[in-house]
Every structure is written in structure tokens, then in C-alpha cells.
Amino acid sequence: MNKMKNFKRRFSLSVPRTETIEENEFTEQINQLNIRRNEDMVPNSLGLHTLHPEASPVGSDPQAPSPTQLHYRNKVQHRRFSMEDVSKRMSLPMDIRLPPEFLKKLQMESPEPCKPLSRMSRRASLSDIGFGKLETYVKLGKLGEGTYATVFKGRSKLTENLVALKEIRLEHEEGAPCTAIREVSLLKNLKHANIVTLHDIIHTDRCLTLVFEYLDSDLKQYLDNCGNLMSIHNVKIFMFQLLRGLSYCHKRKILHRDLKPQNLLINEKGELKLADFGLARAKSVPTKTYSNEVVTLWYRPPDVLLGSTEYSTPIDMWGVGCILYEMATGRPMFPGSTVKEELHLVFRLMGSPSEETWPGITANEEFKSYMFPQYKAQALINHVPRLDTEGIDLLSALLLYDTKKRSSAEASLRHAYFLSLGENIHSLPDTSSVFSLKEVQLQKDPGHRSSVFQPPGRGKNRRQSIF
């Protein structure tokens, strides 16, 4: 503690500062290397409205700036375009070529010697055609609401594509929610056909809006919609896609931690994508961390239920097994409402754990305290009669108590269960859908009322998950 006081003292000695900071000075400094994109945003984002507008507009700009716009004395002056210019451009269709003088101006931009800045200016030019701007997206209707975020269905004016707009409120005591920070920083690194794409991030005064690709349905809804009777062939295709996305995450040491049917989005082509990475985290440090309140009870592995915090990739694989069961039978596997009930359901079906199936369990105080009766493992085939032998084998491999033996995503993809999907499916590029292969096609679900696929516009029933 002494040491820290030391640092503090030295620091404040070396950095003389007045009692209150000159806000102007702060903004001005921050603005010095400003890029065009941010000129209209920075003052807002700093919440400072007491700035003195600079009297003279930028000399080289032929168009007078609108009166509402503030100018700052920038040491580095950038050529800039009036907002009118930009909005005119934005209302044009997507395939418009940028005017030649615009391109010229872009090229004339002061050459920056260092890399990140040039990336920033490229980003800035993207913003001129509408990326990063809220006006680019039209809200169509609310999909759901949570403590931190509201999700809207929307449409991009640039591409006419449907999008999901996740608005995260920033006015919290503690600033930006950590779930949002993690979700964005993780998703930015994940580019895969079976992981939901983050198109854009928009930052306004009070909100951070994440623009995701829009998928019409999720697995929960899909099951509801086909009367909980899915084609067993489609189960396999969905299962493969789930494992494919998960294997990609796990290779990057990213755990999802919250797998459940509601978090598996499905579009009209039958493409399945992992969503909601709010609880996920790049696993790059030894993990004592995380409370054991992370996974929805039904899909939570017994080791976590018993208080294990040694989280690693097997934490997700138990849930995958439960989801396979749910798709094949149409009902959740272990729908417990308390930890005790959940464990009880698991042990009753899978058998009481022994030192053999779960090394160390007999010494687990938590487990002993529950005093569960002894159960013999039941034959899974009796509970999932529609699944073939290979399917049952995979299911058993996923639902192993011993985390070290539990099948990994990578290994599961190579399971004999998927042999019928052909060999090509294993050599697909990350960003290609499994349906880019001719041999992979959905079948009609026997329980479905009208067509195989979801009718559009069922936004009201949509159970969009929100953190």
C-alpha cells in the first residue's frame, strides 16, 4: 500500500494539474489527431457541450458548414466533406461508384506513416458511405428486451438486407456493460459460416448499437414449429453445423458458456449459427474465475453444477449432447429447475457417478452432501429411439462425466454419425455454408404444418436472447 501511495504522489507531482480539468483542453487534445469520421461524434461522446466553436470554417472546403456543426482547432487538418455531401451519397443505392473527385480527395489524404492510422482512415472512408451510422438502418420492430439491451429487427439502407439491431444502453453506473465489450471484441475475431456475423458497430450518445445479420428463427422456435418432430436427417445437419461453429471457437480458446436452443439461430436456408457471446470469453488465462451461474441449468454439465470452476472447452460439449437429445426427441433432456433437481435428473438417466466414470467424485463434498440414491445408467436408445446406433454413440460420448474423456467438438465432427454427409464437408472453407455442397440438403420435417421452412414475419413469438 505504501508503494502505491508513493506512485500516486510521484505521479501527481510529475503531472501538475489544476483542481478541475480544463475540459476544453482535454477535448482539444483528443481531437488533435482526429479523423473525419469522428468529428461529429467526439463532442457528443465526451458529453461536453460547452465547447467553443471555432469561428472560421476549414479554408479549403468550398461548402460552408451547417451552423450546428462545431469545428475544433485541429493541429492536423483533414480535408472534410459536408454532411450534406455524405447524406446525399448515402441515399444512393449501394452499387454506386464514388465520385472521382471523392476518390481523388481520399488519395490526397495526408499519407500516414504508421499502420493503425491508415486502417483508421480506411474505416473513415467506409463511414462516408454509411457504415457506423445509425441513419443507415431502419428499425422495423422490437424483437425483445433485456436489462442491458433491446433488440430490434431492422433493414440496412445500403444493402436492403435485414439486420438485427442490438441496442446496448450505456448509461450505467459502471459504464459499458462487460458483456457487450466481450461480445463485440470476441465476435470481431470470429468469421465463420456457423457463427452470427457482426456487421457494424454504431456508437451514439447513449447507446451502442450492434448490427448483426438477421436470422429469422432459432432452434427453440424451429422445434416448436415442426411440432417437436424434426426429420432425423435434419437433426444431423443441424448438429454438424453446431459442432462446426463450436470447433472454430474452441480452437481459438473461446468458450461459449451459454449454449441452448434459443442461442442457435436458424435462417430460412436451414443455416444454423451460434449467437449471444455475452458470457463467452477468450480463454487465455488460467481460469479460477467465473461464478458457476453461467450456463442455463438445463444444459449445464454436472461438474459445473457441483461447483467446478476448472472451465475449459468440455463445458460446452455437455450442452451439445443435451441439444442433440432435444432435437431427436423434441423435449429437453434434463429440465431441472434447481441444481439438486438438475443433478438428480442427470444421475437418474446417466447413472450415479463412480470413481470409474468420474475420477475424484467420491471425495467431492458437495456431491456427498446431496445423498442421492444409487442409479444404474439407463440405455439411451430407449429414450431416443429415433437416433441410430452411431447417433447414440456420439450422444454417449458427449454426456460423459469425466471432462477429460468428454468428446471435443473437433473429434465429434469426425464421428461416424456424420459419415453419411460425405467427405467434402470436412474440407469446407470456414466461411462457406454446409449447403454450398450439393449433397447436403434439408428434408421435410414430418411434424411441420406447411413447409419445411419458417414463414417470415413471426417476430412476435421470437424468443431472441438478450444478455
- Residue 120 touching other proteins (CB under 8 A): yes
Spatial CB neighbours of 102, under 8 Å, sequence gap ≥ 6: 81, 89, 128
Q: Which of 404, 438, 449, 460 binds other proteins (CB under 8 A)?
A: 404
User: Least distance in Å: CB of 49 to other proteins?
Assistant: 12
Q: Answer yes or no: 303 catalytic.
A: no
Q: Which residues sit opposite 164 in a β-bridge? A: 153, 212
Classify residue 57 as exposed, middle or buried by CB count within 10 Å of its CB (0-12, 13-18, 19+). middle
Residues within window 121-160 making contact with other proteins, judged by CB under 8 A: 123
Q: Which of 52, 73, 251, 444 binds other proteins (CB under 8 A)?
A: 251
Nearest residue to 328 (alpha-carbon basis) of 402, 256, 284, 386 = 386
CB 437 within 8 A of CB 431: no
Catalytic residue selected from 200, 258, 316, 445: 258
Nearest residue to 198 (alpha-carbon basis) of 216, 213, 182 = 213
Using alpha carbons, list the distances in angstroms from residue 133 to 118, 127, 157, 170, 190.
20, 7, 11, 17, 23
166 is in an annotated binding site: yes
Task: Tell me whether residue 119 or residue 331 sits nearer to other proteins (CB atom).
Answer: 119
Q: Which of 201, 232, 349, 381 binds other proteins (CB under 8 A)?
A: 201
- Residue 344 touching other proteins (CB under 8 A): no
- Contact string (CB under 8 A) for other proteins, positions 266-285, x = contact: ---------------xxxxx
Nearest residue to 363 (alpha-carbon basis) of 353, 350, 373 = 353
- Residue 412 touching other proteins (CB under 8 A): no
- Residue 203 touching other proteins (CB under 8 A): yes
- Residue 12 touching other proteins (CB under 8 A): yes
- Residue 313 touching other proteins (CB under 8 A): yes
Amino acid at the residue 164: A
CB 195 within 8 A of CB 273: yes
Residue 122 grid cell: 480506411
Which positions make up the binding site for ATP?
A: 166
Binding residues for other proteins (CB under 8 A)? 1, 3-4, 7-8, 10-12, 14-19, 21-22, 25-26, 28-30, 32-34, 38, 41-42, 45-47, 114, 116-117, 120, 123, 170, 173-176, 178, 181-182, 184-186, 188-189, 201, 203, 208, 250-253, 281-286, 288-291, 310, 312-313, 404
Q: Catalytic residue positions?
A: 258
